[in-house]
Amino acid sequence: MLVDYHIHTKKCGHARGEMHEYVEAAIARGLPEMGFSDHMPLPYLPLDEEYVMPAARFPEYLADAARLQEKYPRIRIRLGVEADFIPGYTEQLVQILSGYPLDYVYGSVHFIDGWLHDDSRFIDGYQRRGVDNVYRDYFRLVQEAAESGAFDILSHLDLVKKFGFRPQRDIRGLLEETVAAVAESGKCIEINTSGLRKPVKEIYPGRELLELLFQASVPVTLGSDAHAPEEVASDFDLAVALLRQVGYRRIATFRRRRRYLVDL
C-alpha cells in the first residue's frame, strides 16, 4: 500500500491546480490514500503570501478537504499541514496545531536564522555562509525540530542538498547525530521524491542517511511534495525501490495524529 502525504494546494500561493484535481490525480495513480499538507500559516513567519497560506484561508482549506472526502469515497483523504520549525516558537506552534482536527503535521526546516535556504532567490547564502557551516546549522535545526516533539513527520530530512551544494567536510557524524535525535524522538520521516525534480536530482533522504534511519528503526512515510496535480506520487516507483533495497517493508500512515504501520 502506498500513500502520498505531501501535497500542496494553490492556497499557499506558489502551487497550482484545484484541490479536487490533486485528488483525481491520486485516484488515477491508484493510491488508496492521500493527504494534503499545505504550508501552515504561522503568525511568527515573517513572510509574504507566496510562501504560506494566508491565515484567513486556513478554515477554507480544512473545509474543502472535508468536502472532498465526501465527494470522493474511493480514496481516503487525510488532512495535514507542513509547518516550519523556528527555534523558540514550539510552544506557540503546538498551541496553534491543537486547535485543528489534523491527521498529521510535517515539520520542516526551511529557515536557518531567518534565511530561506531552499529558495533559489537567496541561493547566494551558501557561498556567503560556507557550505559546511550551512550543513551543520541545518542538521542541528533538524535535530531540534525532532527533539521538540511538535511534529509527526520530519520533512525532506536532507533538504539542504537541494541545489547540489555538497559539504567538503565528512558529515557522517552529523548524520548519525541527526538520526539519533530522530530515533529518540519516536517520530517518523518521509521519503520525499521532489529532490528528483530539483538540481540535486536525488530523493530526500539520500541512501546513506536512509540506511542509518532504517538501522535506527525510524519509520518512514511517502510524499511527492506535489505543487501541481501531475506531480502526485511522482517517482514513487523509485522511492519504493529505494525503501526495499534499504530494508523497509512497512510505511507509516496517520489518522488524527496517531501512527499506523502498513505493509509496503
What residues line the site for Zn ion (CB under 5 A)? Answer: 8, 108
Rank residues 12 and 243 by Cβ distance to Zn ion and give the closer one: 12
Rank residues 81 and 252 by Cβ distance to Zn ion and give the closer one: 81
User: Nearest to Zn ion by Cβ — which residue?
Assistant: 108
Closest approach, Cβ 156 to Zn ion, in A, equals: 6
CB of 94 within 8 A of CB of 150? Answer: yes
What single DSSP character describes residue 248? -
Instruction: Return d(Cα 44, Cα 237) in angstroms, integer.
Output: 38
Q: What is the distance, to the nearest Å, from the Cα of residue 173 to the centroid of all Cα atoms in its chain?
A: 23
Residues in the chain: 264
Closest approach, Cβ 120 to Zn ion, in A, equals: 13
Q: What is the distance, to the nearest Å, from the Cα of residue 78 to the centroid of all Cα atoms in its chain?
A: 14
Closest approach, Cβ 116 to Zn ion, in A, equals: 11
Closest approach, Cβ 103 to Zn ion, in A, equals: 18
Rank residues 8 and 161 by Cβ distance to Zn ion and give the closer one: 8
Closest approach, Cβ 242 to Zn ion, in A, equals: 19
Hey, which residues does 106 pair with through a beta bridge?
A: 82, 153
Rank residues 60 and 176 by Cβ distance to Zn ion and give the closer one: 60
Stretch (H or E) spanning 7: strand 3-7
Closest approach, Cβ 39 to Zn ion, in A, equals: 6
Rank residues 55 and 241 by Cβ distance to Zn ion and give the closer one: 55
CA-CA distances (angstroms) from residue 23 to 142, 173, 189, 245?
30, 41, 23, 29
Rank residues 185 and 192 by Cβ distance to Zn ion and give the closer one: 192
Task: Please give the single-letter amino acid code of residue 45.
Answer: L
Residue corresponding to grid cell 489534523: 102
Closest approach, Cβ 117 to Zn ion, in A, equals: 11
HEC profile for 89-118?
Answer: CHHHHHHHHCCCCCCEEEEECCEECCEECC
Task: Please give the single-letter amino acid code of residue 194.
Answer: S
Rank residues 6 and 78 by Cβ distance to Zn ion and give the closer one: 6
